[in-house]
C-alpha cells in the first residue's frame, strides 16, 4: 500500500517536532513498557536545532496532511586532506523513523532516496548505516551492501 508523502529537507525550525519523534522512536524501540524519559525533551530539541543550523548534520522529513510523520538524518564525517584525491566526507545515516501508523507505505524509502540523491550531488565518498535486522532489506533495495573493508570495535561491554 502506498500513501502520498511529501519529502523535503529538514529545517532548524522543525527541531521541536523532530525531538518528539526521536522520543517516540526510542520509546517504541524499548523492550517492554518504556519507563518515563530520564532526560528532558528540550535537550533533544536544542541538539537537533543546533546541528541542523550548523550544517554538519542534515535531515529529511516526510509529511502527510501537513504533519511530519518520519525522518532520516545524515551526519557528515570529515576525511583527512589527501595530496592526490579529494577528501569529500563520508555520510553516516541514522535515526530513520516513520510513525508506526504510516510504516510500510513507502515513506522510509522516499526519505532514503532523497538522502541518496543529495549524497550523489554533494559528491560524498559513500554512506554507512547500522541497520536493524528488520530494516536491512530496505537499505539493500537502495543499494547498501555489507562492507568489504570496515572493521568495528564494539566498546559497549
Which position among 6, 27, 103, 117 is part of the footprint of ligand COA (CB under 6 A)?
Answer: 103
Q: For the window 51-90, what string marks contact with ligand COA as x by the rule CB under 6 A?
A: ----------------------------------------
- Binding segment for ligand COA (CB under 6 A), chosen from 44-52, 80-88, 119-127, 128-136, is 128-136
CA distances, 48 to each of 10, 58, 149, 150 (Å): 10, 10, 31, 28
Please choose, out of 10-18, 50-58, 113-121, 130-138, the segment that lies near ligand COA by the rule CB under 6 A.
130-138
Q: Which of 31, 85, 134, 153 binds ligand COA (CB under 6 A)?
A: 134
- Which of 44, 26, 45 is closest to 36 using CA atoms? 26
Closest by CA to 97, choosing from 82, 83, 112, 85, is 112
Query: How many residues belong to the site for ligand COA (CB under 6 A)?
Result: 16
Candidate residues 12, 34, 137, 147; the one interacting with ligand COA per rule CB under 6 A: 137
91 contributes a contact to ligand COA by CB under 6 A: no
DSSP string covering 55-109: SSEEEEEEEETTEEEEEEEEEEE-----SSS--PPEEEEEEEEE-GGGTTSSHHH
Amino acid at each position: 500500500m502506498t500513501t502520498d508523502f511529501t519529502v523535503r529537507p529538514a529545517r532548524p525550525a522543525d527541531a521541536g517536532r523532530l525531538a518528539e519523534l526521536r522520543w517516540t522512536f526510542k520509546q517504541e524501540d524499548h523492550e517492554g513498557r518504556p519507563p518515563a524519559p530520564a532526560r528532558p525533551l528540550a535537550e533533544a530539541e536544542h541538539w537537533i536545532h543546533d546541528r541542523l543550523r550548523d550544517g554538519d548534520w542534515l535531515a529529511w522529513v516526510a509529511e502527510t496532511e501537513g504533519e511530519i510523520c518520519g525522518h532520516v538524518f545524515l551526519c557528515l564525517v570529515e576525511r583527512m586532506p589527501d595530496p592526490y584525491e579529494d577528501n569529500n566526507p563520508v555520510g553516516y545515516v541514522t535515526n530513520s523513523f516513520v510513525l508506526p501508523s504510516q510504516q510500510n507505505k513507502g515513506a522510509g524509502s522516499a526519505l532514503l532516496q532523497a538522502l541518496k540523491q543529495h549524497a550523489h550531488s554533494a559528491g560524498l565518498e559513500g554512506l554507512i548505516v547500522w541497520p536493524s535486522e528488520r530494516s536491512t532489506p530496505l537499505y539493500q533495495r537502495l543499494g547498501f551492501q555489507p562492507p568489504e573493508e570496515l572493521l568495528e570495535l564494539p566498546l559497549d561491554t
